[in-house]
Structure 1
């Protein structure tokens, strides 16, 4: 009898596992599947298993191509199955084509005279890993977007200032993959929100596009946040934004923008940094008037950059959102009026929005 041995975490069983087991079984007469123990999986994946080990064993045993299931508890990197392998002494060790531990596994095979067999990934539809499935299962169903109030562009690593901050606030209505009540490419951090909904590393994807990190971090953090300007996000502090309720609105300028195309335009970073310092003070004091001052300073920078003046609507302050030159503008009022040109928004924080904690 020719025994074939495979090993893995198999935390969330999917079509790729079924195909792999089927291919492996075709190499011999008896398939042994070694499942990584829970502590071993944590060592390798740095997260707790999604399924308890007993459930994984039961599910894998129920597959028609599997003859035996064992548990691997060895701590040697890449060889968590070593004891079970030496005990069962199979004729073939089957691995996937992207196996990261080929050299140590070949040495183990040599100890018992087993063949090391690489199997191609032949799934007829899109491949997905258990890690990707775990990320999708734990991704949020809906998230806020954000308005940036001061210090915009100081989250872009090449424009970072040691004396600068980024002041921003998560807002509702929330968005989901199935309900997006805002225009896109409009300055509200939509790309960061979408990346979070898709279970991606949103900060990494934003920086890869040569733009800043502020969108995904405040969308994830929620509340009114102050960040230190720099190459990576560092939260200076966060407060409950309840003092901004009934004071915020959006105005749609009628055209979209692409932030990457605006990044290298000349602008007054000294004044942006000054506005961000005032915005930080305003957040610390929960001072609405001072926050409006920071917003006005930021808008002055935008006008100097060449953006068109925004319409007056009785506001205390206003500015373009994000990179500007189109998209949305945020308006701040002592008491938000009804105006058909304005879109009502509210500050958003996951907890304690109705208190001052």
Structure 2
């Protein structure tokens, strides 16, 4: 019997069995690496070797192109299951390629047939890639920045820049990063200034104490003062140089090249708006046309307008300058293009002599014929 409160030691056979069991189980324990498998050289090196061998032993260009496509497609896979499946497929293909390379007729026939299937797919992929590239290019053109002709005045974070719509993300990111960097520098500079003041106060305290004969050791004064102040002084000087660059950036003048660019952009804007108005006069309905048609007077003015006034306001906002629209615009005092010659030309107001008399005679004949037909219709309906 063992003494009370003590556990007896296990027998030697049990200790030996436990040691043998640990030796058998330890190799089976899963060891999880500290980094993902795709960042380990033990995975990257064999995978690249497999890819090179597949390209080396590929029987023709079609199969080689297929291998390259699949490698690019699956090179970003991070799942162990899918990665293992693709690697096993790659090794299976490599065995088939090597057999065909060594002269296996059956494997050669299989790869020739597979190459013909890939040839059709490669041709389809080629045209699909061209179509996608064209669609991406059109989408890029639709979202590309356009110079508005305005100027972004120089600030601490950027020199004078042309205003673009929409503004490129790179410019926004540059301004944002410089703002954050300047804020961090200002905060650090304030801390360094306080630390330098503390060092000077400590050095002055030691000097006063030593002058009074106190038993003090020189820690912040004397030769040690330069060693303490050097890193603080160097960092402050560096930040001051960087801040002076910000001020110089804010004072950057507008270059002649930028002025020429802004003037060219403004001319192009006027020319573009002129072409847009010409297209609208020819009957093309543009997004700007719809926005202008939907636009109305302010609410505090609209609430006091009569229905007739609202109707005239909608007519005046239209593009045309002839016919009923031109007549309403002329009555409302709207400035017409070419002094209203289009409306005068339509009504024959700009004609003189025989031409004017001929137009008036045609107009009179028109109204006579119209009244005759109206009377004829009335008689037929009454009869």
Higher relative contact order (CA 8 A, sep 6+): 1
Which one has a larger percent helix, Structure 1 or Structure 2? 2
User: What TM-score comes out, normalization by structure 2 length?
Assistant: 0.21
Whichever structure has more strand as a proportion of its residues is 1
Structure ID, larger Rg:
2
